[in-house]
Each structure stands twice: as structure tokens, then as C-alpha cells.
Structure 1
Amino acid sequence: MEFDAVLIEPRRAAMIAAGLWLDKTADDYFDACLAAHPDALALSAIHAATGARRDLSWAELDLLADRAALGLRALGVGRGDVVTCQLPNGWEFVASYLGCSRIGAVFNPVMPIFREHELGFMLKHGESKVFLVPKTFRGFDHEAMAEGLKPGLPALRQIVVAGGAGANSFDALLSNPAFDSQRATITRDTRLGPDDVCQLIYTSGTTGEPKGVMHTANTMYANLAPFAERLHMGGEDVILMFSPMAHQTGFMYGLLLPLMLKARFVLMDSWDKALAARIIEGDGVTWTMASTPFLIDLSGAVEDLGTDPASLRIFLCAGTVIPGPVVERAQRVLGARVISAWGMTENGAVTTVLPEDPAQRAAETDGVPLPGIELQIRDREGRPVSGPGIEGGLFVRGCSNFGGYLKRPQWNNVDADGWFDTGDIARMDAAGYIRICGRSKDIIIRGAENIPVVEVEAALFKHPAVQSVAIVGYPDDRLGERACAFVVPKPGQTLSFEAMQAHLKAHNFATQYWPERLELREALPATASGKVQKFALRQLLRDEMGL
């Protein structure tokens, strides 16, 4: 497949000259890890439900990555082919990514929560050749879902099942010891280069379909290098990642970052606050990154269990606002610095507070831009605002900006001067710290996960009892936001909360995308042209909830 990453070449010379693009890939960083410490512990993968774990050295992980590369090649995967991975955090995910990189394939991580509705579009749009799924995860049969999708995906050649026992199992196809005699055939010549698209990751949008974000090694490591330097990270760190690696948070900061640092990383396949507290103590975890709900949970678990979190140096929090009391409690209970940050799938982390900043800054701001990143706040006419504290559209320009949206370059939102329109509303103080105030995009962020409002609304419109619908977010202390559906029923009909849920389930939406509140109305506030005024609905909801 041809990847139209049109945003890469125009800025390459400037990025190289400025030392912001390092021209190194994940393979280069892995080679350095392997050469320096082949027998050192590299990765610990922990199954939350059972507590079972697998510890791998760099040499053992290298062997598994080669097996995955050889297995994928045997399935007909070659340079530029897309491999979609819905696996939870674990060694199989890491080996699959490294295997793809070694044969020039493009890795497409997709969230384990996605179902037929989301996956049918993503796999077809990305022309995925191989689909990696768990046999079951959290009680859901992923293999059956994948097999049901296959007839509608002409490019899909093979489904590979982790935890399966048949001929399509991960062990048979991607981790077979019979491949070991062929390891010498995996050479540097087949690897992806630093400007080749290496990751295709989908993000929800307001256009009615997900957007395929294309990244290269240069765009991602241009973010990770200054990020690690700012947070004083190095090879002595032990990085814990429980955010899904199919999300950019887990992928970049739970996989690529430790490779760059030669640091050990610990992966949990799902969230268990008590287990996380014990892992931090037992494995000497120094650093982790997740959204506010996880910080709240972890603080509570440490208090309840009495575990020792002394090794934990930083908890980086992104995705939702961190309330001041949460910061105070976490720093008291965990003894770690809470670092607030803001970023996007398209850019990685864009801003963070500094470790040297006063603690309260993590609750009051989303930080200052990383080196190599510029920010601009613009008014409605597209002009830079005149002073600090004025809200406007947030634009980003810099080294970690993505390569564009696959097959949709018209949506790239980058102007002639290289400024990317984030779609978010922000303000900047006199010291250059920003605060995200809202979003011009019609997206709700629930627990750091974007809810594609347009798609959910479109599905609810199909319900026979629904005349009109609008979904808005409302504040939540734990998740940042939850979703409320305002519905005008058709004359003589009604809609229950249970019927709404059953309808969305029938349309194969992930449960995290279902509205958690339903309000029935005779009419919705609208402009003279008929456009629903969602700001009025948000305010109405706040008033009714006493917020």
C-alpha cells in the first residue's frame, strides 16, 4: 500500500539541521540494548487476572522478535504491508511490533475495546494483511469476532490468535521454534527507515469516521528524546505501563521509550490497582504514565494495602484535568512527583510541567511545550491572540507532528507555515504554560479515551423511537468526563436507558462509547438554521447536576 505521509519530506532538512530528527529507528535502539546488556532483564509481562508473569532478557526478546518477523514473512507480509494488532499489553505485543519493524511492515495497534463497528472500518481502510487478536480477553471472544469480520475484508490474509490452540495460534505462526534456523535471513536491509511510516494508529474524529494517523521513527523519537531529558530519565528507570499499548500513551511511553533508554519495562495487560501497588514495590518501578482515574486508584490502593511506593519518582498524568486535591493526596501517599501533560495521537506529548515546578502547577496548568515544539493561540479570525490568559484555538508546530492522515490528506489541518490545528481551545499564561479549556472538536474524553460523538449520535438516530439526539460531556471526578445523550423521542414514543444501551450493543459499539446518562426532551436548543446548541445543553446539564 502507498502511504501518503505528505507532511514528512517538506520539513526533513530543517528537522535534521536542528538536530530534532535523530534518524534512528526502534531497531537501532534495540540493537544498542542487545549489545550493551544481552542477558539483563528487559521486559516483565504480567497477567492481571492471575498474577502470572513472564520475564525476558534482551536476548530472549530478540529471539521472540525474530520468530515473529519470520512468521509474518511466511504469511506473506512484506515491506509496506499493514499488520493490525488488538493484543493486550504483553510480550506478544512487543515481539509483534519488533517483528514488523524487522521486515518493513507497518504496525497498526487497535484498542482491545473495539468491536465490529470500529474494526470493520479500520482494517478495511488500512488494508490490513494480518490481524492479531487474543483468543479471549475480559470474557470476550475476539477470535469469533475476527472470523466474522474476515469475509468483508478482501486484503486480510490471516487471523493470528494469541492463546489459541489451533493452526492459527500465535505459538504456531509467530512464535514457532522451527523458525530459529532462519534467523540469519533477517537482515538490516529489510528494516524500515527513519522516515518510513512505521505506525498507523486510528483516532476518533468529528468527520464521522476514524482517522488513520501515520507516524515515522523520526516523528515519534523526536518527541521521546526531549521528553526523557526533561524528566531526567535514563537506563536506571523501571517503567510500568498499564495504559493499553494500542493507545499512543502505552505505545510510545511503554514500548518505544524504554527501548531508547535501555530501561526495563513492566507491562500489565489490564488495570488492577492492588496489583499495580504491589508491582511498584516489588519491581522497584520508578516511572509510570496514565490518566487521572489511575492516579486516584493507585493512591487509594497504596493507602489501603500499606505497600511501599518509595521507588516511584514520577507519575505523569495526561488526558484529563488533575484536581488539586488529587495531586496533593498522590504526592503525600506515593511520594512521587505528579507531572501534568497534554498531547495528541498526532504529536505525542506536547506540553508537560517541569519536575522542578511547584507541585500545584500540575493542577493548574498542562505545562510548557517540549523543545522542538512551538505553540500558538489564535482568535476566531485566525490571528495570534494579543496577550496572556486569552482563550483561543490551539495550534502546534514542531518536530513530532505526524506524517498525515492515511488516504485523507485533506484533513491534515496543517497550514502553509506548518501549524497544525489541534481543534482544542486553550489559554497561555505569561510564563508560557497552557491550560486546555475545551475542544472545538465534537469529542468527549472519558478516562483519556476519545468518544466519537458523531458516530454514536448517528447510530442512535437509527433507533425507531428517536427523532433527534445530541450527545454532550459532563464533568466527572474520576474519568474527567462522561457522556449524556439528549433525545427527543418521536411523537407517542419513548426511549429507556436500557433500550438505548441495547441499541448501541446491537450496533457493535464498545461499551466505553455508550452514554452513561439519558435525558428526554420535547425539543433541543437550536440556532435559526436548526443547528443544535450543544453549549446550551452542557450548561443545562451542569445546572441540573449542581455543578
Structure 2
Amino acid sequence: MAPVYPHLLEGEWPERLITDFLHEHAQNKPEKPALVDESRGRRVVLGFAGLADRVDRIATALLGLGVRPGEVVCFQLPNYWEFVALQLALSRIGAVSCPLIPVFRERELRLMVGQSESRILVVPDRFRNFDYPRMVEGLREDLPRLERVFVVGDEVPAWAEPFEELLEAEPDRKALEAVRPSPSDPTQLLYTSGTSGEPKGVVHVHNALILADLLHIEHFRLGEEDTVFVPSPCAHQTGFLYGMWLAMVLGATAVYQDVWDGRRGLELVRGYGVRFVQAATPFLVDLVEAVNETGKSPEDLRIFVATGASVPRKLAQEAREVLGASVCGAWGTTEGCLVTAGTPDDPPEKTWQTDGRLLPRMEMRVVDDGGNPLPAGREGRFQVRTPCLFTTYLHHPEWYRAAVSPDGWFDTGDLAVVDDEGYMSITGRVKDIINRGGEKVPVAEVEQLLYEHPAVSDVAIVAMPDPRLGERACAYVVLRKGATLTLEDVRGYLLARGMAKQYWPERIEVVEELPRTASGKIQKYVLRERAARLA
């Protein structure tokens, strides 16, 4: 039976640490698998007691290295068991975790490791045929505060240290308890993925993240029997909070995949009886394709929460039929965690056409450019107020003040509509607005229609500068195998679907793939830059 937390509706804080859950599970169900890691050609299964022991060893070693509460430690690891153990060890001693997505390279590391003033960095030896120690070696002169580099794997250069050495420390639980942080202390520094081109360091406290997971559990009625699949990078909030931490709060088994492949993902979901997945829309697309290709369905899967980008209606309907599971749209941010989501009980048309309704204790509103609330059915700027809101942008409090009003409303930068029943639909980004001669193009609506075209696999529409109209719409399209598509095809299709001519794209660019962040969000600023060069 799923746990219930009625006190949350009364405005109380959890006042617990993620490691409190770990140690509780280690005592009550020591042998139950806490995690399954099948990366690097071998299988590692750690029970809650075994994981707790490794966490305490690493935490003791970090204390011995001088890491203290409030200090930031950066690590750039794939979804390995080492990621989980290291992160929990940092939480144990009150240090701040700064996970870096594996796709980041010199530019991002120079900014993030330097800005966070991290003295310690942990990287893999190789991942996806990339040499991480070599990259870090080339950055050491630019990172004067960086003192020690630990490497996960067998290829450890002489100037670095093996991660395994951290496991050799004998746990000193008295010393660990002496530095136990307050739940109101910072625990996470997470850089935004960069849909706007400028990463920001988002700071969260323990209480906010634990509360976010408890509200999640309430909304989806999850329990310890709901094995969690984690294909999204743990260095992104989806994998971190709604994969790794969610499973730990539940006391459920988490199954990790380090390199995404739809067929392999399906094997893991089937093999371990996975019941819950939260990941970006592209993961859903590939999982559905894998089922269609193999004819094997994920028999135990109960819920797939699709985040990071809007779920096209056609995909949501197909996924529900193919996977035999509830497919729920949802909306959240690195700054505010998950705010709205569908549920398995929602009517199909609400599941497929909206981003759901508010989670408990969350608030939302749609306002005009002057900040005045708009009635149901009107599009405007989407703002949220949540107890799970971040506390600041690292070194940039002015960015926080610009984004969060004095009474706590966070301007998300999204455009949205909320209907009479409280279902919210994201309609675009404020910066995505295409102003064609004074007429605003409903970008999200046009994208939804084009996605339903039989030749289209993926699509994104952005503004292209125009000397007469100011802006025109340019559609970047990924085609299905063997398909072709011309501008005339698109015009004929939209004409048949009854869309006003002034909303039609006026240029089509066929590409192999759309630029995305690690969380699956389309980087429209990249496409706008490309479109500007086409004008």
C-alpha cells in the first residue's frame, strides 16, 4: 500500500535527510536491492545495507580529505552505482552535490567547476569513447582551486587518484553524525541544461527536494513495490530527484541505465519488473519503437511520466496502447521541481492534451505582460509558487530577484493556458513567440499538427527574421525512414486540417535530429541562430 503524508497539506516540512531514508531501509530490509547497475559490461546489485556501508566509507574518506559542510563537490559520472554512493555520501556530511552531465566538455567544466570553487572532482576514465582525465588535465591550469581528481575505472593517470581508494576508509559514524546537516541547509547545486544558452547554478536545500518527492509519491500513489527505472542522466533533475532520490524515499529498487538504447531499456524494464519511469519524451518514443520492433511488452509497467518537452497527442495515445501503461504528461523545472502532472485516473483527452493538474501544495497562475492574472482559457505567462522552489542562483542573486517576485511567484518563461477544470497546457516559451506582421503564431499548436503528419518523426518551429513582416515561421523537421516532405506538402496538409494560412511555416528545413539538452528539451535558441543565418 502506498504511504500517505497528510501533514504535507498542513504546510509542514519533512525535516529529514535522504540518508535518513537510506539508513531506515538498511535496518528494516537490509538485503532488498537498493540499486541495479548493469553498466560497463557487468552487473552490480547493492542491497540497502551494502549501499549504506559504501556511503559511510566514502563519507568518512571525504571528511579525511577536509571536505566540510556547505562545501561544493563536483562529479561528472554516468548512471553508475558510484554516482549514487558518492551523492549520498556528500549528503551525509552536509556537502553540496554538483553533478555534471557527462556530455559537458571543456567550456562547461571550466565554468561550473570554477564557479562552484570545487576542490574535488570525480570523473570516469572513459565513457562513450571519451577520455575524461585527459580533458580535466588540460583544464587544471584554469582551475586553481581544484586540488584532487578521482577517477572511476581502471585507466587512472599518475596525477589522479582511483575512486576505489575512497572505499578503503573504515566508517567513523561518530564523526559522520557530528557533521550532520540541517534539512534547511543546501544540498544540491544543479546547472540548468541551457535551453536559453546560458547555464545557471540552481541551489536547493534538503527539505525542498525531499518534499518534492513526497508530493510526487502522493500524486502518483507510489509504494515500495514500484521498482523505478532510471534512464535519464542522474546529473539532471529528472534522473536525480525523480529516479535516484524517489526510489530511496520509497524504499524501492532503482534500475539504472548508463547509455540509452531503447531495446536495452525495454530488456531492463521487463527483466526487473519495472513499474514506474519518469523520463523525457524521446525516451518514450524509443521505448514504444522497441516494443513495436520486438513484439515484447513491459508487462509490469504501470506509469510512464513524460517530461522535458510536450508529449504529442498521437504519441501519447500510441504509447498507452503499446506499453499497456498510463502515460502522463507533466511539467516542472530545475528551479521549482515538478508542479503539474496527469494521473492514471485522468480522462484520456486530458492525459493526451494537457500537462496535468497541480500537485498538492503547488500554486499556478497565468498572467499578462503586466503581471495581471488572466481567466481560464486565456494564454499568458506561466508563473508558479511552490514550497520546493530553489533558494538562489549561485553568485547571481540578481537573476533570482528578476525571476521570483517578493511574494514568491516564479516566472517560468513559459506560455500556458489553464482550463476550467484546472488542467494546464504549455503553449510555448515567451522567447518562442513568432510575431508575423503583428499576428502571433500559435507555435505549439502548429507543431502538434505537423507531428501528426505521417512523414514527420520530430518537429520544432522557430522565428526567422524577415525585413517586411518582422518574423516568419521556420519549421525544422526530422523525417521518418524513407519519407520525403516539401513546403508544398506541409501547406497542403495544414490547409486540409483547417489551419489559418498566416500560421503556416514559410520555410522547411529537414535535419537528421533536433538539438536537445540531456533532459530532452529542444534547444530552440540553437535553431533560432540557424534560422537567422537562413534569412
TM-score range (shorter-chain normalised) is 0.7 to 0.9
Higher relative contact order (CA 8 A, sep 6+): 1
1:178-218 Cα distance to aligned partner (Å, 9 max, x none): x12x4334432212221100000011568864211000111
Q: 1:112 aligns with which of 88, 99, 102?
A: 102
Instruction: Name the aligned partner's letter for residue 103 of structure 2.
Output: I
CA contact under 8 A between 1:226 and 1:370: conserved in structure 2? yes
User: How far is 1:541 from its partner?
Assistant: 9.1
CA contact under 8 A between 1:68 and 1:174: conserved in structure 2? yes
CA distance in 2, matches of 1:71, 1:388: 55
1:350 aligns with 2:339: yes
C-alpha RMSD over aligned residues = 2.8
Q: 2:323 aligns with which of 325, 328, 334?
A: 334
CA distance in 2, matches of 1:343, 1:40: 31
Instruction: Name the aligned partner's letter for residue 305 of structure 1.
Output: T
Relative distance call for 1:146 and 1:185 in structure 2 (3 A) is farther
TM-score, with length taken from structure 1: 0.78
User: How far is 1:79 from its partner?
Assistant: 1.4
CA contact under 8 A between 1:103 and 1:186: conserved in structure 2? no
User: How far is 1:165 from its partner?
Assistant: 4.2
User: How far is 1:250 from its partner?
Assistant: 0.2
Q: 1:314 aligns with which of 292, 303, 309?
A: 303
1:36 aligns with 2:28: yes
Equivalent in the alignment of 1:515: none
Equivalent in the alignment of 1:361: 350
CA contact under 8 A between 2:238 and 2:279: conserved in structure 1? yes
Equivalent in the alignment of 1:544: 507
1:227-266 Cα distance to aligned partner (Å, 9 max, x none): 1111110111100000000000000011111111111110
CA distance in 1, matches of 2:17, 2:87: 12
Q: 1:243 aligns with which of 232, 247, 261?
A: 232
1:331-372 Cα distance to aligned partner (Å, 9 max, x none): 112110001100000011110012210123222100111111
**SS of the residue aligned with 1:151?**
helix
Equivalent in the alignment of 2:167: 175
1:193 aligns with 2:182: yes
Q: 1:288 aligns with which of 269, 277, 284?
A: 277
CA distance in 2, matches of 1:546, 1:485: 13
1:30-56 Cα distance to aligned partner (Å, 9 max, x none): 121112111211110121x63x22101
Instruction: Name the aligned partner's letter for residue 369 of structure 1.
Output: L
User: How far is 1:406 from its partner?
Assistant: 1.1
CA distance in 1, matches of 2:165, 2:461: 41
Relative distance call for 1:255 and 1:118 in structure 2 (3 A) is same
CA distance in 1, matches of 2:204, 2:266: 33
CA contact under 8 A between 1:366 and 1:433: conserved in structure 2? yes
1:228 aligns with 2:228: no
CA distance in 1, matches of 2:198, 2:162: 30
Equivalent in the alignment of 1:401: 389
Relative distance call for 1:235 and 1:172 in structure 2 (3 A) is closer
CA contact under 8 A between 1:75 and 1:158: conserved in structure 2? no
1:27 aligns with 2:19: yes
Equivalent in the alignment of 1:5: none
Q: 1:98 aligns with which of 88, 96, 100?
A: 88
Equivalent in the alignment of 1:299: 288
Equivalent in the alignment of 1:137: 127
Q: 1:74 aligns with which of 61, 64, 73?
A: 64
Equivalent in the alignment of 2:76: 86
Instruction: Name the aligned partner's letter for residue 32 of structure 1.
Output: E
**SS of the residue aligned with 1:389?**
coil
Q: What is the correspondence of 1:47-66 to structure 2 with a 5 Å cutoff?
A: 47=39, 50=41, 52-66=42-56
CA contact under 8 A between 2:297 and 2:322: conserved in structure 1? no
1:1-57 Cα distance to aligned partner (Å, 9 max, x none): xxxxxxxxxxxxxx989334211111111121112111211110121x63x221011
Q: Percent identity?
A: 39
1:215 aligns with 2:204: yes
CA distance in 1, matches of 2:208, 2:21: 15
Instruction: Name the aligned partner's letter for residue 400 of structure 1.
Output: C
Equivalent in the alignment of 1:390: 378
User: How far is 1:325 from its partner?
Assistant: 2.0
User: How far is 1:148 from its partner?
Assistant: 1.1
Instruction: Name the aligned partner's letter for residue 79 of structure 2.
Output: N
1:267 aligns with 2:256: yes
CA distance in 2, matches of 1:316, 1:26: 22
Bigger Cα displacement from structure 2, 73-82 vs 370-379: 73-82
Relative distance call for 1:533 and 1:226 in structure 2 (3 A) is farther
**SS of the residue aligned with 1:295?**
helix
CA distance in 1, matches of 2:210, 2:472: 38
Q: Which runs of 5+ in 2 are unaligned?
A: 1-6, 434-442, 476-501, 511-535
**SS of the residue aligned with 1:55?**
strand
Equivalent in the alignment of 1:278: 267
CA distance in 2, matches of 1:65, 1:404: 28
**SS of the residue aligned with 1:187?**
helix
CA contact under 8 A between 1:321 and 1:363: conserved in structure 2? no
Equivalent in the alignment of 1:496: none
Instruction: Name the aligned partner's letter for residue 409 of structure 2.
Output: W
Equivalent in the alignment of 1:489: none
Equivalent in the alignment of 1:376: 365
User: How far is 1:545 from its partner?
Assistant: 2.3
1:494-526 Cα distance to aligned partner (Å, 9 max, x none): xxxxxxxxxxxxxxxxxxxxxxxxxxxxxx436
Q: Which runs of 5+ in 1 are unaligned?
A: 1-14, 444-471, 487-523
CA distance in 2, matches of 1:437, 1:401: 23
1:156 aligns with 2:153: no
CA distance in 2, matches of 1:56, 1:171: 18
CA distance in 2, matches of 1:407, 1:53: 41
Instruction: Name the aligned partner's letter for residue 44 of structure 1.
Output: V
Equivalent in the alignment of 1:428: 418
1:80-114 Cα distance to aligned partner (Å, 9 max, x none): 11111110001100010011112221100111111
CA distance in 1, matches of 2:52, 2:26: 8
TM-score, with length taken from structure 2: 0.80
CA distance in 2, matches of 1:16, 1:296: 35
CA distance in 2, matches of 1:144, 1:442: 38
Instruction: Name the aligned partner's letter for residue 507 of structure 2.
Output: E
Equivalent in the alignment of 1:461: none
**SS of the residue aligned with 1:399?**
coil
User: How far is 1:544 from its partner?
Assistant: 1.9
Equivalent in the alignment of 2:466: 525
CA contact under 8 A between 2:36 and 2:44: conserved in structure 1? yes
Instruction: Name the aligned partner's letter for residue 398 of structure 1.
Output: T
Bigger Cα displacement from structure 2, 192-201 vs 351-360: 351-360
CA contact under 8 A between 1:525 and 1:536: conserved in structure 2? no
**SS of the residue aligned with 2:36?**
strand
